[in-house]
Each structure stands twice: as structure tokens, then as C-alpha cells.
Structure 1
């Protein structure tokens, strides 16, 4: 299996990328769905139906299969190769796997929201969904830096960095929201 490590790693990376693409786009569709509910009829019904169809196809044709395949190839890398077994003993990998666990929780929460919106139950605002979308971004940044640097990143600097990045994202969102509100007036 070690001779196929780079192939497995390449496939893992491809499906991680498509998984994140699906997560980023599904939440944008959540935003659009929530905003469509504020439109007058018949525009509302037409848009909601279209967003439900787009979300359904994205979720079941791209996002879920990508999540499953990324996980299978990760499992093969970690438990089917000598290098993967060695990585499991390294602190940076433990931290990375913690973020991957958060990613699974994020994915499952997106699935719950997806199912609600398929029944046209809008429980969150478009503002909530815009902020929710940043969760995947934070996880992506953390995992990429851990994998590339292969260091558990000094916890103090790592935690401060992620908090600062999150604050910057929130400030950017608030700035964007003010611009949108000003343009709508």
C-alpha cells in the first residue's frame, strides 16, 4: 500500500477540495433561500423551488459523496501506510483530527439545515447563514496550516491567530452588511 501513498493522498486532496466547495456553496444556497422567503409571490415560490432543487443536487451529488470519499482515502492513508501510522503519533496530526471532527459536526449541522429548507422551514436568517459560512473557512485555514507546517503550532499563537482571523471575518461581514444596507436605501 505504501507504493500507492501518493495516489491515495492525491485522491484524498481532490475530494477534500470538492467537499469544501460543496460546503461553501450549500450555505450560499441557504442564504439565497432565506432571502427568497422575503420576496412577494410568485417570485418567492419560484425561487424557493429552484434553490431547493439546486441544494438537493449539490448536497447529494457533490458534497456527501466528496465527504465520504475524502474520509475513505484519509483512512487508507492513516491506517494503510507506514507514513500514516507514523503521523498518528505526531501532535500536529492530533490537532488536525480535532479540526476534522469539527468539520464533520459542521457538515452534519449543514445537513440538518438542508433537510429543514427542503421542507421550506426557514429557522435562520440570511445574516446567520453568512456568518455560518465562515465556520468552514476557519476549519479550512486551520487544517491547511497544520498539514503544510506539520507542527501543532504553538498553542498560544495558533489560538490567537484563529481568534484574530475569526474577528477579521466578523468585522468584514459587518462592513459588508452596512454597505448592502446603504445600497438598498
Structure 2
């Protein structure tokens, strides 16, 4: 029964994290489009707060995922090819998360050099990665 609770909270925190991961680049789109100083300052506050809000969800997702792997054991980990693929994509999500922090700081310094189109692309790519994670976790194809 414990494993089911861990899985439930792991999925919950992952969903909360992904909601922020999808929204933060959308804020960057709007921020990159604005020319108003007061609006830009408001976006800076929103971006920083959102990143700080979702980071604990990212950490809890990680801790619970490691706990689930620990409970299932190393033999299960070695035999689960799908999990290796999933963990590779998850690692990229954590790198992406840190890149978003970098961008929060770039905007905070008024040093953005990217177009709104760049941020639209940045906003859409993680959707495909999340789809891959869900397919791997549910179908366990290998």
C-alpha cells in the first residue's frame, strides 16, 4: 500500500511541477513582447515567484521517484529499459528547469536577447517530452 501512496504523490507533484514548467515560458513570451517598463517589472516578479513556487514540486517529484525505485529494488531498475529512457527524459526536464531559472535572471537584468517566437518554441517542446514520459510509464514498451 505504501508504494501506491508514493506513486500517487509522485504523480501529483509532477503534475504541479509541469503546470509551472508550461506556464513560465508563456510568461517569457509576454515579457519579451512588452515595451512598458511597469509591465516588465510585474513580469519579473511573476516569473521569479512562479519558479520558486514550482521548484519544491520538482524536488518532491525527484525524492518520491527515488523512493519508488528504492522500494522496487535494483533488480527491477536494471530490468526496466523503459525506466532508463524515462529517467533520461526526466533528467532533461531538470536541466530545462534550471535553464528557466537562468532565463528568469536574464529577464531580471533586462538582458533578454530572444524573440517571443523563441519562447513560444521553448514553451511547446516540453509537451512532447511529457508525452514520451507518460507513454513510457504507462505502456512500459521495453
TM-score (norm 1): 0.73
Structure 1 stretches of 4+ moved >6 Å: none
1:101 maps to 2:85: no
Residue of structure 2 aligned with 1:140, choices 130, 133, 136:
130
Q: 1:149: how far off?
A: 0.4
Q: CA RMSD in A?
A: 1.5
Identify which of 49, 69, 76 aligns with 1:78: 69
Which secondary structure state, in structure 2, belongs to the residue aligned with residue 124 of structure 1? coil
- Counterpart-to-counterpart distance in 2, 1:68 and 1:100: 12
Where 2:79 maps in the other structure, the secondary structure is: coil
- Any gaps of 5 or more consecutive residues in structure 2? none
Bigger relative CO (Cα 8 Å, ≥ 6 apart): 2
In structure 2, what is the Cα distance between the partners aligned to 1:22 and 1:66? 9
1:59 partnered with 2:51: yes
Instruction: Please tell me whether Structure 1 or Structure 2 has the larger radius of gyration of its CA atoms.
Output: 1
Equivalent of residue 82 in structure 2, options 70, 88, 92: 92
Partner of 2:115: 125
- Report the more deviating stretch, 13-22 or 87-96: 87-96
CA distance in 2: counterparts of 1:124 and 1:28, whole angstroms: 13
